């Protein structure tokens, strides 16, 4: 779909909101919006799509109180601002929009949290992402390196970049709005997403991308939306398996889970952000003993997080139960860079090929 068509749909969705209010008033109803209740208690793991979604509980925001009326007023201002922004082909950060509300009198936001929350409400109502309205996050996405050719539609025209031949060692940085990307060619067999920059650089230096036709993606810790969206699209559009390589501790398993099953915070975006087919490659608790990796003792926080994962539906599989119980028993955790203790080539020549074969990817 062209950028113009996408903008047109976003514009129509915004107009729909205003139209509904207009109809409500014409029918002599007090204007309102209806949204799924956005608390932990209304988030469910959807077995069919294998991702987190909102449940059936609904919250109404009605202009029958001063609080409700001001809320709808704020939304009306945001709708107006975004509509104008689409018309002028501009974009802005969430932070800029917050400051712009300074000029909205009674509709001024009292804190950034409030405007962020309202934008998430808009995403739910319109079933579009904030990027569709040209709202940018503060943070960039991650970087990509590998046998993949990307066309990015920028404000200065199209840019075609091969993510090995046309980029430096920093790789190709994922822009905020991933929907401006097209994958125009590739020689890849799979995608490997890594938690740390050290491991990303290690695979690049060791030529793992060339030897195994792998697209390397640096997650930069808990991945940004744009990074998760790129992984989803690589999986869906190019049919590439996605594997996730993190440290071996409960916080890193959550990184994997947010890639594979979505996050509670963005449960309304799970369909576009989550890659249910993504597989965890390691560091597995069993690797710590099998490879005799340098390790640290689990902290009390780690133990509590592991126990919480045992009752998390995303980790409710035989594999995860057995690995997590093993880790609790050992009381140890290891980082992905700990493989360096066995030499700088061990991870790319031994560990990853063995795991990829086990997983049926090589």
Quickly tell me which residue has 């890594």 as its tokens. 194
138 touching a copy of itself, by CB under 8 A: yes
187 touching a copy of itself, by CB under 8 A: no
Instruction: Round to whole Å and give the CA distance between 142 and 347.
Output: 22
Residue 127 vs 166, nearer CB to a copy of itself: 166
303 touching a copy of itself, by CB under 8 A: no
246 touching a copy of itself, by CB under 8 A: no
Q: Which stretch binds a copy of itself (CB under 8 A): 115-123, 283-291, 323-331, 333-341?
A: 333-341
- Binding site for Mg(2+), by residue number, is 195, 247
The torsion angles phi and psi of 182, rounded to 5 degrees, stand at -130, 135
Q: Which stretch binds a copy of itself (CB under 8 A): 53-61, 65-73, 280-288, 330-338?
A: 330-338
The tokens of 181 are what?
A: 């990307």
279 touching a copy of itself, by CB under 8 A: no
Count the site residues for a copy of itself by CB under 8 A: 54
The active-site residue out of 54, 99, 291, 351 is 99
Name the pairing type of β-strands 43-46 and 58-62.
Answer: unpaired
First to last CA, the chain: 34
Residue 200 vs 261, nearer CB to a copy of itself: 200
359 touching a copy of itself, by CB under 8 A: no
Inter-helix orientation angle 318-330/300-310, to 10°: 160
Residue 136 vs 268, nearer CB to a copy of itself: 136
107 touching a copy of itself, by CB under 8 A: no
Q: Verify whether residue 319 is a known catalytic residue.
A: no
**What is the nearest approach in angstroms of a copy of itself to the Cβ of residue 343?**
8
Instruction: Round to whole Å and give the CA distance between 113 and 236.
Output: 33
Using the CB atoms, write b or e for 47-75: b if 16+ within 10 Å.
eeebbbbbeeeeeebbbeeeebbebbebb
**What is the nearest approach in angstroms of a copy of itself to the Cβ of residue 153?**
9
340 touching a copy of itself, by CB under 8 A: yes
Quickly tell me which residue has 């799924």 as its tokens. 36
164 touching a copy of itself, by CB under 8 A: yes
Residue 185 vs 276, nearer CB to a copy of itself: 185
**What is the nearest approach in angstroms of a copy of itself to the Cβ of residue 138?**
5
**What is the nearest approach in angstroms of a copy of itself to the Cβ of residue 234?**
16
Strand partners for 182: 151
Contact with a copy of itself (CB under 8 A): which of 62, 100, 238, 330? 100
Query: Do residues 359 and 319 lie in contact, with contact meaning Cβ atoms separated by under 8 Å?
Result: no
- What are the DSSP calls for 258-312, one per residue? HHHH--STTGGGHHHH--TT-EEEE--HHHHHHTT---EEPPHHHHHHHHHHHT-
Instruction: Give just the sign of the alpha carbon dihedral 149, 153, 155, 156.
Output: positive
Positions annotated as catalytic residues are 99
List interacting residues with a copy of itself (CB under 8 A): 90-93, 95-97, 99-100, 102-103, 136, 138-141, 143, 150, 152, 154-156, 159, 161, 164-176, 180, 196-198, 201-202, 204-205, 294, 335, 337-341, 343-344
């Amino acid at each position: 779909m062209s950028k113009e068509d996408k903008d047109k749909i976003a514009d129509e969705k915004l107009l729909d909101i205003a139209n509904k209010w207009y109809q409500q008033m014409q029918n002599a109803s007090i204007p309102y919006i209806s949204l799924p209740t956005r608390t932990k208690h209304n988030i469910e793991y959807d077995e069919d799509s294998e991702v987190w979604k909102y449940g059936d509980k609904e919250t109404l925001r009605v202009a029958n109180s001063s609080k409700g009326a001001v809320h709808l007023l704020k939304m009306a201002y945001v709708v107006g601002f975004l509509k104008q922004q689409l018309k002028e082909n501009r974009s802005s950060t969430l932070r800029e929009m917050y400051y712009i509300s300074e000029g909205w009198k009674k509709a001024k936001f009292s804190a950034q949290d409030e405007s962020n929350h309202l934008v998430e409400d808009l995403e739910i109502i319109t079933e579009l992402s904030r990027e569709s309205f040209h709202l940018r996050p503060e943070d960039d996405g991650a970087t990509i390196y590998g046998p993949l050719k990307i066309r990015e539609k920028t404000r200065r025209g199209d840019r075609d970049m091969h993510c090995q031949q046309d980029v430096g060692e920093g790789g190709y940085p994922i822009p905020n709005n991933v929907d401006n990307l097209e994958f125009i060619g590739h020689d890849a067999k799979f995608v490997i997403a890594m938690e740390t920059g050290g491991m990303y650089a290690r695979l690049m230096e060791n030529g793992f991308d060339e030897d195994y036709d792998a697209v390397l993606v640096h997650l930069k810790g808990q991945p940004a939306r744009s990074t998760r969206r790129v992984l989803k699209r690589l999986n869906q559009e190019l049919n590439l398996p996605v594997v996730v390589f993190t440290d071996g501790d409960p916080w890193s398993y959550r990184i994997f889970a947010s890639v594979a099953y979505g996050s509670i915070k963005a449960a309304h975006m799970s369909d576009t952000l989550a890659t249910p087919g993504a597989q965890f490659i390691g560091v597995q608790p069993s690797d710590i003993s099998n490879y005799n990796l340098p390790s640290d003792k689990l902290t009390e926080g780690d133990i509590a997080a592991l126990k919480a994962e045992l009752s998390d539906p995303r980790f409710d599989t035989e594999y995860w139960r057995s690995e997590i119980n093993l880790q609790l028993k050992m009381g140890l955790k290891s980082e992905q860079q700990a493989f360096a203790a066995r030499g700088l080539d061990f991870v790319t020549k031994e560990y990853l090929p063995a795991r990829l074969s086990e997983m049926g990817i090589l």
